Structure 1
């Protein structure tokens, strides 16, 4: 389980992740273009921009830099070990 920091912290479930972004499920009320921080227990934290909000999830965009790739790899590796 992740924590999404926007106006206030909210629990978030990571559905998919890559170096370019993530899809999460959360009860946070977000708007397109807002900046948030996603905190993963093993991967650390990353700043993201809300790319889309729909009934199926929230799409976040990362910068696609080395930090974003490292975050994604750590999150995937942590999930594979559970």
Structure 2
């Protein structure tokens, strides 16, 4: 099973109410598709096979919530954590992503 098949399979859940949304992550001059696992006003957790460097500035593009600039704050096995600036814009982005993911396409 490929990364995107695992993310897009019916019933794949990031939580009880939200499915994993495929987003675009831009960093270090490259773009890749990632799965949004968790999000809040302070940051997000993403599934990725090719993590950017720790501390790298990235842009996360959500298909409905828009885009946000962040920094890579943690790197784990197959996932990263990115941190937002904790301003009104990051809260609005997170709420937009959550609301979009709670509705059917």
Instruction: Quickly name the TM-score band, shorter chain normalised.
Output: over 0.9
1:26 aligns with: 48
User: How far apart in 2 are the matches of 1:30 and 1:44?
Assistant: 21
**Structure 1: which 5+ residue stretches go unaligned?**
none
Secondary structure of the residue aligned to 1:33 is coil
If each structure's strand is expressed as a fraction of its own residues, which one has the higher value?
1
Q: How many residue pairs end up in the alignment?
A: 82
After superposition, the Cα gap between the structure-2 partners of 1:56 and 1:9, relative to the gap in structure 1 and judged at 3 Å, is closer
Secondary structure of the residue aligned to 1:74 is helix
1:2-81 equivalence runs, <5 A: 2-7=23-28, 8-81=30-103
Pairwise CA RMSD: 0.9
User: How far apart in 2 are the matches of 1:78 and 1:29?
Assistant: 25
TM-score normalised over the length of structure 2: 0.75
User: Relative contact order (alpha carbons < 8 A, sep ≥ 6): 1 or 2 greater?
Assistant: 1
* Deviation >4 Å, runs of 4+: none
